[in-house]
Amino acid sequence: MKPHPLFRGLLLATALVASAFAKPITVGFAQTGAESAWRTANTNSMKSEAEKRGITLKFADAQGKQENQIRAVSTFIAQGVDAIVIAPIVETGWEPILRQAKRAKIPVIITDRTVQVSDESLYACFIGSDFYTEGKMAAEWLAKAVNGQGNIVELQGTPGSAPANERRKAFAENIAPFPGLKIIDSQSGDFRRSGGKEVMESLLKKHGKAITIVYAHNDDMALGAIQAIEEAGLKPGKDILIVSIDAIKEAVQAVAAGKLACTVECNPLFGPKVYDTIAKILAGETVPKKAFNKDELFDATNAAAALPSRQY
Ligand code: AHR
């Protein structure tokens, strides 16, 4: 049965009040893909918050390919959406499509991963985590935990992506004061659990027991590496210490279980912040050019207590 027109009007009015938009709006979201549990949580946050606020969300999953993302943005421009959100797969190669959006006067909000552009006015603002700080937190925690000694293998994220670039640089720079900490190998597992497992299997074959530490650019790869370590007959947390980034619930559980030494949070639940920002931009307000989420670290001291309230 169709709701009475008066009731429908009431629903629409409620949605508009909740969303803080003067009229119903359409947002195009060019998402990276579905490579990790973090990404799924981010997609859910963007979708569920849009629904709550009565926003029409056009969602495009680029399946890990920048050309798909660029095509999706081009379609959003042709459709005349009110705002475009991009979680850029890699940092470079965005200028031409951002110029098109600017010419069409459609504000672009860069989320999650940063872009390298010569003209910062090509996008309205950035919302996400500070990947350099995450890598630094992991390095500092590790140096203290192992007293500045150990052979590290690094599982990198997607080559050319901001989190892989920044987490790699930050970690290397912040273990540099400890000559006893050495990165003996570094390979990409593409932020995927299967990638982390495969790379770890081959690293174990190559370096054997020389490996004492794994630094993974995300939890999915760390969890894949844990599987590989166990299948090789070694004990994660004892024979090999593993540190990673994201703080997905499964990783915090692994910390509580003693398999993962620590995980630095990278909060993906910024859907509400994105739509609040879009509302301000469309109302002509000025918004901060870069808004970073605040992230914390989970280790044996706080993981178990944090578990009941983990949202992703
Ligand atoms: O860009 C954020 C990173 O991308 C997350 O750390 C990772 O899990 C994801 O795939």
CA geometry: angle 288, 85, 8, nearest 5 deg: 105
* Mean predicted lDDT score pLDDT of the chain: 95
Q: What is the mean predicted confidence (pLDDT) over 247-265?
A: 98
Q: How far is CA 248 from CA 156, 158, 193, 266, 288, in A?
A: 18, 18, 13, 9, 28
Where residue 2 falls among pLDDT bands split at 50, 70, 90?
very low
Q: For residue 93, report the distance from its CA to the centre of ligand 1, in Å.
A: 19
> In which residue are the tokens 């994105």 written?
274
95 C-alpha to center of ligand 1: Å? 23
User: What would the pLDDT profile of 157-172 be if each residue is shown by its tens digit?
Assistant: 999 999 999 999 999 9
Q: Strand (E) positions, 179-305?
A: 181-188, 213-216, 241-246, 262-265, 290-292, 297-298
What's the pLDDT tens digit per position in 16-74?
A: 444 567 789 999 999 999 999 999 999 999 999 999 999 999 999 999 999 999 999 99
Task: Give the pLDDT of residue 222.
Answer: 99
Sorting pLDDT into bands at 50, 70 and 90, what band is 12? Answer: very low
Residue 270: pLDDT band (50, 70, 90) is very high
pLDDT at residue number 76:
98
CB-hemisphere CA count at 13 Å for 293?
22
**Ligand 1 nearest-atom number relative to CA 161:** 1
Q: Ligand 1 pocket, 246 CB below 6 A? A: yes
Count of H-run helices and E-run strands, the chain? 11, 12
Among left, alpha and beta (phi > 0; psi -120 to 50; other), residue 150 is: left
Q: How far apart are CA 76 and CA 61, in angstroms?
A: 13
Question: Could you tell me if the CB of 123 is within 6 A of ligand 1?
Answer: no
How is the beta sheet containing 26-31 ordered, strand by strand?
A: 56-61, 26-31, 83-86, 108-111, 125-128, 290-292
**193 CB within 6 A, ligand 1:** no
pLDDT, tens digit, 9 for 90 and up, residues 99-156: 999 999 999 999 999 999 999 999 999 999 999 999 999 999 999 999 999 999 999 9
* Cβ–ligand 1 contact at 39 (below 6 Å): yes
Q: Which atom of ligand 1 is nearest to the CA of 162?
A: 1
Show the CA angle centred on residue 268, arms to residues 186 and 279, nearest 5°: 135
Report which of 257, 248, 260, 241 is spatially closest to residue 295, judged by C-alpha positions. 248
pLDDT of amino acid 19 = 54
Instruction: Indicate if the pLDDT at residue 4 is higher than 60.
Output: no
- Confidence (pTM): 0.93
89 C-alpha to ligand 1 centroid (Å): 10
Residue spans of beta strands (DSSP E) within the chain: 26-31, 56-61, 83-86, 108-111, 125-128, 150-156, 181-188, 213-216, 241-246, 262-265, 290-292, 297-298
Residue 190 CA to ligand 1 center (angstroms) comes to 10
End-to-end CA distance of the chain: 36
CA–CA gap between residue 3 and residue 15 (Å, rounded): 16
Is 91 near ligand 1, meaning CB less than 6 Å away? no
Average pLDDT score over residue span 231-244: 98
154 pocket-lining for ligand 1 (C-beta < 6 Å): no
- pLDDT by residue (tens digit) across 87-99? 999 999 999 999 9
Residue whose structure tokens are 């009565």: 54
